[in-house]
Amino acid sequence: MVRFGILGFGLHAVKRVMPGFALARESRVTALSRRELRKAQESARQFDIPLAFDSGEALCSSPEVDAVFVCSPNSLHLRDTLQAIECGKHVLCEKPMAMNAEEAAQMVEAAKKANVLLGIAQVFRFEESTARLRDRIVEGQIGKPVFARSEFSFPGSREHARKWLRDPVIAGGGAIADVGVHCIDALRYILQDEVVRVTTSGITEGSNGVDLAAIMTLGFTRGTLGTVLVSYIPEYRTPMEFVGEGGTLFANDGLTVDRPVQLELRRGGKIVESETISNHLAYAHQVDAFAAAVEGKSKFPVPGEEGWQNQAILDAAFRSLKSSKAEMVFKATAR
């Protein structure tokens, strides 16, 4: 059993992370941290967590913690991850991994030097629906993929509990960084291919330049053309579609854990096969997979290098948003 400390116990920890741990078999939470000790203690009592701290340093130093789950705002990921690594802890860091690829590189290199595990919480790699899409494409059910589409929208208004999402200094961007990274990572995983160029256009907000909506066109190594549409404006929706020379795979709610996903295989304009898949164990699978890697039983599917590559793609997307041109993606490689 691997003991986790959650650094930055906010809305995401309450809504997603703790329900995942409740279903996990090889992981448990022994500590949490919040900026105010009183609030940390309240959260610890609510979720029956033994230890509560008001600093990341105290949590990372605890002998009752084997691994640190970094759930702090994006701008703090580098600091908090390096602090945990310095304390000899394994780190599972929320997405997006960092504010840019340079920070991601520092995190990867620090983990390697300290000989600790660094994983990135791209939870949709642990969904049954994404696994089935990947398997069906490998089986050749649609032939060579020509188009791949992933969308992720939700109403992230100024009244949203995580107000920092609309502050580029803290979030590193808007919808592109927050949910675009999910779409990009899911397409990379399902297609088993790499993005080499990105063209982005978007709707930005006022003087701070936060992207409220954007469309990214991705060019993949093997020729597939991808589109990613993200926004903080419409209602929640996460459709995915893969179009090949021999058919189409479609999932209306491909990136969701809240309700069953209907996956359809279409040919000639008709549904020729469908299956209903539940993703309710995705968060549990994620922490248990990390625990298994910590114990040396298996490799974690999303190591720091994967998050670093996603960050390189995000960097290219933001360059394109400014230049209005296609931007090449730099391959994340050790220096």
The domain that contains 79 carries what CATH number? 3.40.50.720
Q: Is the pLDDT of residue 166 over 80?
A: no
- Is residue 231 within 8 Å of 214, Cβ to Cβ? yes
pLDDT at 207: 64
Q: How confident is the model at residue 154 (pLDDT cuts 50, 70, 90)?
A: very high
Q: Over range 168-178, report the average pLDDT.
A: 90
pLDDT, one tens digit per residue, over 174-189 is 999 999 999 999 999 9
d(CA 266, CA 150): 17
d(CA 196, CA 217): 11
Residues 22 and 160 in one domain: no
Sign of CA dihedral 107, 193, 325, 239: negative
Q: How many domains does the chain have?
A: 2
The least confident of 41-55, 83-97, 168-182, 299-313 is 168-182
Which range marks the domain in which residue 271 is found?
Answer: 125-279+312-328
What is the SS3 assignment for 278?
coil
Q: Is the pLDDT of residue 251 over 80?
A: yes
Q: How confident is the model at residue 168 (pLDDT cuts 50, 70, 90)?
A: confident
For position 198, which CATH number holds?
3.30.360.10
- Average pLDDT score over the chain: 95
pLDDT at 105: 98
pLDDT at 209: 76
Q: Is 44 exposed, middle or buried (0-12, 13-18, 19+ CB in 10 A)?
A: buried
Exposed e or buried b for every residue in 185-197, given b needs 16+ CB within 10 A? Answer: bbbbbbbebebbb
Residues 119 and 129 in one domain: no
Q: Over range 199-213, report the average pLDDT.
A: 87
Assigned domain for 201 exists: yes
The pTM score is 0.95
Strand partners, 227: 149, 217
Q: Is the pLDDT of residue 162 over 90?
A: no
Residues 102 and 140 in one domain: no
- Is residue 119 within 8 Å of 47, Cβ to Cβ? no
Q: Is the pLDDT of residue 158 over 70?
A: no
| Percent of the chain topping pLDDT 90 | 90
Peptide bond into 96 cis (omega under 30): yes
3-state secondary structure 249-274: EEECECCCCCCCEEEEEEECCEEEEE
